[in-house]
Amino acid sequence: MLSIPITVLDGNGDLPLPSYQTAHAAAMDLHAAVREPVTISPGSIALVGCGFAMALPDGYEAQVRPRSGLASKSGVTVVNSPGTIDADYRGEVKVALINLGAAPFVVERGARIAQLVVAPVTRAEWQQVEALETTSRGAGGFGHTGN
């Protein structure tokens, strides 16, 4: 298991640290560290802090992803999904939520607002060539894989 240093920035101590909810969960839940409820109107975006900072090791990233229940029930999702947190970032983890639903959505303190996946990063190096190897698909874009 990977060990990640974490600093709690929200001093109340009432919020859980990110955690896996089941033994085989791929993502940890992130909780809202708002002091007062935040209302997100339909079509609006709110940047919601999670009350902690972390130090990911070199070669890793954290991906902030939507919670499927929140998205399907309320239309609230992560606007830049997945949001990427790089290994050299040391600020508060925040989630950019957008309300795509029809009704205002209220974010309460401690609410589970997103998920966090820690994953290894593969770094790429470009190799410029005169032409690319051909494939049966070629340059076919959206909708060109048979569906």
Cβ-based burial of 53 (10 A; exposed 0-12, middle 13-18, buried ≥19): middle
- 17 confidence band (pLDDT: 50, 70, 90): very high
How far is it, in rounded angstroms, from Cα 110 to Cα 97? 15
Second-level CATH architecture of 6-120: Distorted Sandwich (2.70)
Residue-wise pLDDT for 119-137, tens only, equals 999 999 999 999 999 998 8
Nearest Cα to Cα of residue 6 among 52, 51, 62: 52
Backbone phi, psi, residue 99, to 5°: -100, 105
Distance between CA atoms of residues 52 and 128, nearest Å:
41
* Phi, psi (degrees; rounded to nearest 5) at 146: 105, -5
Against a cut of 0.85, is the pTM above it? yes
Domain boundaries, the chain: 6-120
Q: What percent of the chain has pLDDT over 70?
A: 97
Q: Which amino acid appears at position 54 of this protein? A: M
**Mean pLDDT score of the chain, rounded to an integer?**
95
Is 49:91 a contact under the CB 8 Å cutoff? no
Do 56 and 118 touch, CB atoms closer than 8 A? yes
pLDDT digits (tens, 9 = 90+) for 24-51: 999 999 999 999 999 999 999 999 999 9
Phi, psi of 115 (to 5 degrees): -125, 155
